[in-house]
Structure 1
Amino acid sequence: MSVRFPVRTGALPVAGFAGVVVLVLATAGLPVPPAVLVPLGLTGMGVVVLAWLGLGRRTAEIPVRGWYRLTAAWCLPLLFAPPLFSGDVHSYLAQGVIAAGGQDPYRLGPLTALGAASPVVQQVSPYWQDTTAPYGPFWIAISRAIAQLAGHDLIPTLLLNRLVELAGVALAAWALPRLARRTGVSPGGALWLGLLNPLVLWHVVAGAHNDGLMIGLMLAGLEIALAGLSSPPRIAAGLVLLTLAANIKIMAAAAVCCLAVVLARHAGRTAGRGAAALLGVLGGFAGLSLAISWLTGLGLGWVGALGGSAAVHSWLAPTNQLGFLAGGLGALAGLHITSAAISVMVRIGAVLGAIAGARLLWSIHRGRFHPVTGLGLVFSVMLIAGPVVQPWYLLWALLPLAASVRSDRARRGLARGSAVLAMALPPLGGGAAVLVEGYLVAAAFLAALWWFGRPTPPGPDAALAVPVAGQTVE
């Protein structure tokens, strides 16, 4: 089932913008009971999601620049919202303050470094107050610079973090249509599914997650390198951007591996030349990472701190879900094995994920997958087999796949999955009863909106995000 509206394309952008404004107003701290604000915020979110799904049927009607303007319009109100869906920006601030004070965020968590009386620490979730920074030195250097500019004040910190993430959004906006043309996908379809995706709005812009900058650098670096496979300067420029992305979050090193196997294939028919190209990329990545660690003055402590985020069990991670299931079955027999079961499942997932990832890289090397598609699949394996999954992690796989997957069925599946995850987290708390009421009220309103807006007769499902041949990047 797809969403259809008997309205012209121009009404959908207006509806989406109105939904964003409603969400911002609902989360602005108005003196209104949560029983009103929660359904209001969820309704605003739902209107955005419905408008976005409706625009997926009209990718041929909107030029590339139109998608840019539409994304800018929907992002603008979110710049004035408080941190939404996550408080990670508070952790970024704490880590920046620690680094700005000359302490090591890779050895000390916020509570140990700043003390319980610090107003910065009090904003950090209790889950992360004792956790060292799990990010690379490039990101910690950015957080340190923001802390030096904004001090301990959350409002300028949030604004500066959002501006940094908007730079990542701009890089993704530049790269997506170019990667799409490279893989034979409609640039408009790639921008709709990737750039305007509600998960980008909620978690990169409103949530200010550093995944936005990581993904933007990764996509731009991959495009620059793929566009110049016979040009060493272009390959080097692309590798620099990919290395910077991996020095925000190490997961972006998957793109470095994809580039390495592509260059190994491109280098020539002999195994020696291929191995030299492969080792050259990996050696260049290692050397650049060492240089970043040295230039930022943060050293190599980040390598040992990469697993810090896995200390908290992630309910969305399949490996954790299997561990919880085993723990629940054990509890029926009077055994307390949940933590041990999760640990075992995470290790099994790591082994299976490494095997699947290696097979995908080999398939990219053999030319069975385009490197952009392969990158999206590698990230998909990471999400399935990894120890931690958050809704915004889907963007790691989603944006490369938005620029490379041509199957209508697969694109519809990505769109529907995005829509479900976009509604999975409420914008406000208020207790279980308030949340249940909020979702029921919002669902009733959105169902009525869809019912009165349904067209007759309905169009074919396949119209959702069909690649348009010949659409050019403007």
Structure 2
Amino acid sequence: MTSPARLGGAGVAGALVSVALVLLTGVLGTSATQPPLGELGPLPPYALDAGASSGLVTVLLVCALAAGAAGLGCAAAAVVRGWRPSPRRLLVASAICTAALVCVPPMGSADHLSYASYGRIAALGGDPYLTPPDQFAGDADPVASAVRDPWRSTPSVYGPVATGVQMIASRVAGDDLALTVWLLSLTSGIGFWGTGLLLSRLRPGDPMPLLLWALNPLLLWTLVAGAHVDALAVLPAVGALAALARRRHVAAGVLLALAVAIKLPFALAALGVAWALRRDARALLSAAAGGVATLAVAYALAGPNALDRLGPASQLVSLASPWGPVAHALDGPLGFGTSRWLTRCAAAALALLLALALHRLLPPAGERREQQAARVWLLLALAYVLAAPYVLPWYDALAWAPLAALGGPVLVTAVLAARSTVLAAAYVPGRVEGMSARVEDWTLTGRRDVAPWLGWLAVAALLGWAAQRLRRAPGRGRSPRAGTG
């Protein structure tokens, strides 16, 4: 049998190989995974103009995901068997990987171009919640006009804090699209690594949170290499857990509000904190006061249109979601509106069922409030990402953060890792533009015909395990006292 140290070393090696392959893909320059940024300057991001084919970048990224998933599994298994690497070394390794990925252009989607556009519109006095990029400055602005379809006609759906960060980056970079994108990539990298640092403080001496977050190759690909705003939103949400541990309840409320004002689904973290404080009215009111005041200021500054896109966004169904085949099959016979309404209702019911199942499967949180908050955040977030009609690979960050804060219960970690790997692979290389017919057929098949059914398999596995646990539990009505690892 392989020793825990060797298994852990193999896990870290797999993570580093994964990051190296992603970095190589980024260095190759514009491709089917990397949208063009125009002329690059002396500051990052750096890339060649190698003209890499869609087939090459797809192979590189699929190999990166395979190596990363295998490495994550080996490292987590090694910790369960007693391996104890130095958390400081893991943080240093994470910092190096994060810094390297921040220095190449973002990959996997063109979302960063939308971020840059919304910041540009706000910096020049426009309203990104009202004005879509293709209607700003006659679609001739050097930054706003770079947005790719289908988002060129879509105003911002992000919160006012995200827009504020995007606006600052735009004001610093001016007309330079590449520099604007790099500044936004830098904020995502700082948010990602800072979250790892906070998690290490929440569980001092425990390497599992760092392996599940800071050196997790799946997250390094989807969040850091993708430069997604989710990496920035996680930082204050985990910061709220740290504030809760120190009984700084107003600060916890403020931090949660900042996370929500970056991306709305992080309200699930706020529900976790509210649950942890439910028996302490004074602490709950203090956190609520800090949060409500912060949100009020943020949305007052953003203007009256900041929530306009929530309605249209709620009707979206992604191809790789478990609901993709269902909703798209019902659109024709029932009509778009009825189909999407039924899908939302069914998804909400499934999310509730999954939350109840996860309550059976997750180990008790104990006395500490931050652990109680993380437990509720995790079961709500995992139920959300597994049941939501519209999901993308980077959305899983919402569940990975509280999972890491809890030290990674084995069963749930395995399910989330498998689901994140499948979803990330389904969105490789990431852009429709520049794909060969063969690559496009491969990626759409994975996205439309494979990932949704594997998503249903993950749902069925969790529900089945919970039912089995319920049958075995003494008294059948009480929560199990045994954890899952």
1:44 Cα deviation from its structure 2 partner: 4.0
For 1:282-297, what aligned pairs fall within 5 Å after superposition? 282-294=288-300, 297=301
2:276–2:372 contact (8 Å) kept in structure 1:
no
Cα distance in 2 between the residues matched to 1:126 and 1:382: 27
The answer for the alignment partner of 2:168 in structure 1 is 145
Alignment match, 2:181:
158
Aligned positions of 1:75-474 closer than 5 A = 75-180=98-203, 187-225=206-244, 227-229=245-247, 234-265=248-279, 267=280, 274=281, 277-294=283-300, 297-310=301-314, 312-327=316-331, 335=333, 337-338=335-336, 340-350=338-348, 353=351, 370-404=372-406, 407-427=409-429, 429-434=434-439
| Bigger mean CA offset, 280-289 vs 238-247 | 280-289
In 1: Cα distance, 2:60 partner to 2:437 partner: 16
- Matches of 1:358 and 1:108, distance apart in 2: 41
- Kept in 1, the 8 Å contact 2:118–2:166? The answer is yes
Q: Summarize deviations over 1:146-199 as a string: whole Å, max 9, x none.
A: 111112322111210111112211331122233346xxxx72112112222223
The amino acid across from 1:152 in the alignment is D
Deviates more, 1:190-199 or 1:132-141: 190-199
Alpha-carbon spacing, 1:192–1:72, altered in 2? closer, same or farther (3 Å) = same
SS in 2 for 1:304: coil
Distance 2:119 2:8 in 1: 48
Query: Hey, what's the Cα distance between the residues in 1 that align with 2:442 and 2:121?
Result: 41
- Assess, with a 3 A threshold, how the Cα gap between structure 1 residues 324 and 308 changes in structure 2: closer, same or farther: closer
Q: Is the partner of 2:126 in helix, strand or coil?
A: coil
Contact 1:138 1:244 in 2 (8 A): yes
- Quote the residue 1:443 is aligned against: none
Q: 1:202-223 deviations in whole A, cap 9, x for unaligned?
A: 1221111110010111011122
1:321-352 per-position Cα deviation (integer Å, ceiling 9, x unaligned): 4212334xxx5xxx363553123211443466
In structure 2, which of residues 40, 43, 50 is the aligned counterpart of residue 30 of structure 1? 50
Instruction: In structure 1, list runs of 5 or more residues that go unmatched.
Output: 268-273, 440-466, 470-474
Change (3 A) 1:374 1:210: same
1:39 maps onto 2:67 in alignment: no
Q: Which residue of 1 aligns with 2:73?
A: 53
- The structural deviation recorded for 1:435 is 5.7
Distance in structure 2 (CA, Å) of the matches to 1:412 and 1:391? 16
2:253–2:288 contact (8 Å) kept in structure 1: no
User: RMSD value over aligned CA atoms?
Assistant: 3.6
Structure-1 separation of matches of 2:303 and 2:429? 38
Higher relative contact order (CA 8 A, sep 6+): 1
Q: Residue 227 of structure 2 aligns to which amino acid in structure 1? A: A
Look up the SS of the partner of 2:310 in the other structure.
Answer: coil
In the alignment, residue 188 of structure 2 is paired with which amino acid?
E
Residues in 2 aligned to 1:261 and 1:35: alpha-carbon distance in whole angstroms: 48
Alignment of 1:4-23 (within 5 A): 8-9=9-10, 11-12=13-14, 15-23=17-25
State the AA in 2 paired with 1:77: A
TM-score, L = length of structure 1: 0.76
Rounded to whole Å, the distance in 1 between the matches of 2:415 and 2:195 is: 22
Matches of 2:439 and 2:309 in 1, distance apart? 38
**CA separation of 1:34/1:171 partners in 2, compared to 1, >3 Å: closer, same or farther?**
closer
Shift of 1:76: 3.2
Secondary structure, counterpart of 1:323 in structure 2: helix
1:30 Cα deviation (Å)? Answer: 0.7
Shift, 1:37, TM fit:
4.1
Residue 459 of structure 1 corresponds to: none
Alpha-carbon shift at residue 353 of structure 1 (Å): 4.6
Query: What is the distance in 2 between the residues matched to 1:13 and 1:314?
Result: 28
Q: Secondary structure at the match of 2:307?
A: helix
Distance 1:380 1:21 in 2: 29
Matches of 2:9 and 2:284, distance apart in 1: 51
Alpha-carbon offset, residue 130 of structure 1: 2.1
Aligned to 2:469: none
Structure 2, unmatched stretches of 5+, are: 30-47, 445-482
Counterpart of 2:35 in structure 1 is none
Distance 1:435 1:261, change over 3 A: same
The structural deviation recorded for 1:421 is 3.0
Offset from partner CA, 1:277-308 (integer Å, 9 cap, x none): 545533432222112234xx323431333345
CA contact (8 A) 2:8 2:74 kept: no
The aligned residue for residue 455 of structure 1 is none
Q: Judging changes above 3 Å, is the alpha-carbon distance between structure 1 residues 351 and 436 closer, same or farther for their aligned structure 2 residues? A: closer
Which TM-score applies when normalising by structure 2? 0.74
2:32 is aligned to: none
Residue-pair matches, total: 414
